[in-house]
Amino acid sequence: IVAGPGSGKTRTIMARVKHLASRGVPLRKIVALTFSRKVALEMVKRDGTIGGERIVIKTFHSFGLSILRRFHKESNLMKDFMVVDQSKQLEIIRSILESGGQGRPPGPTSNSVVHGALSKQMTSQDAFKVLKWIMKKKGSGAEAKEFAHVEYGAIWERYEDVLHTQYNGVDFVDILSLVLKLLQTHPAILQDLKQRYQYYVVDEFQDVNN
C-alpha cells in the first residue's frame, strides 16, 4: 500500500488480512510487514489474532533476522551471531581509530590511508560521521573493498573484520542485505519461503528503496 500518513494504511492492511482469512487462507501463510516496531506492536495489540490464530506481524528487520537465524550456515554466520546496535558500532570504530588501524587484514590499501584519517584527534562526533558514511554506502549495496583507496573505506574494511571476527556480529544494514544475497544465491531457500508464505502485505511501502 502506497499512501500518505494518517490515510488508514494499517487499517486497510489488517482488513486485507482478515479478508484473506475469510477466504480460507491460513494466517501462518500471511506475513504483515512494517518498518516501525511501534506500528508492528500496535498491529499485534489491535489485531494480533483472528479466530484464535496468531498473525505473523514483523518489521522488515525482525523478519529478515528470523530468516538469517534459520539459514545462518548458508549466510556464513555462526548460529549464535549477534546484532550490534549503534553504540557498539561507534565503539568499534573508535577502537579502530584509537589503535591506528592496527591488526587490519592484509590488502592493497596501505596503513597510511588509515593513518590519514587519524591525522586529527577523533571525537565521538567524528566517529559518528564515519559510521554514517559507512552505513550509507552499505545501504546502497556497495562493499568496503570498492572504497579501499579512500580514508573511510580503509576504516570500513577494518570495521567489517572486527564486527564479524571479534564480535560474531552483524549490523542492521547487514540484516536486509544478507537476506537479499541469500535469496539471490540459494534458489532452494527462495522456493522454501515461497511455499511457507503465500501473501505479503506491506505497510509504509512508500519508504521501500530499490
Residues 157-192 have pLDDT tens digits of 999 999 999 999 999 999 999 999 999 999 999 999
Task: Look at residue 203 in the predicted model and tell me its pLDDT.
Answer: 78
**Which amino acids are annotated as binding site for ATP, given as ranges?**
3-10
DSSP codes of every residue in 64-125 = HHHHHHHTTTTTT--TT-EE--HHHHHHHHHHHHHTTTTTPPP-SS-HHHHHHHTSS---HH
Task: Look at residue 208 in the predicted model and tell me its pLDDT.
Answer: 64
**Which amino acids are annotated as binding site, given as ranges?**
3-10
Residues 71-111 have pLDDT tens digits of 999 999 999 999 999 999 999 999 888 876 543 433 334 45
Main-chain dihedrals φ then ψ at residue 31, nearest 5 degrees: -120, 125
Mean pLDDT of the chain: 82
Residues 38-65 have pLDDT tens digits of 766 666 666 666 666 777 888 999 999 9
C-alpha cell at 146: 570498492
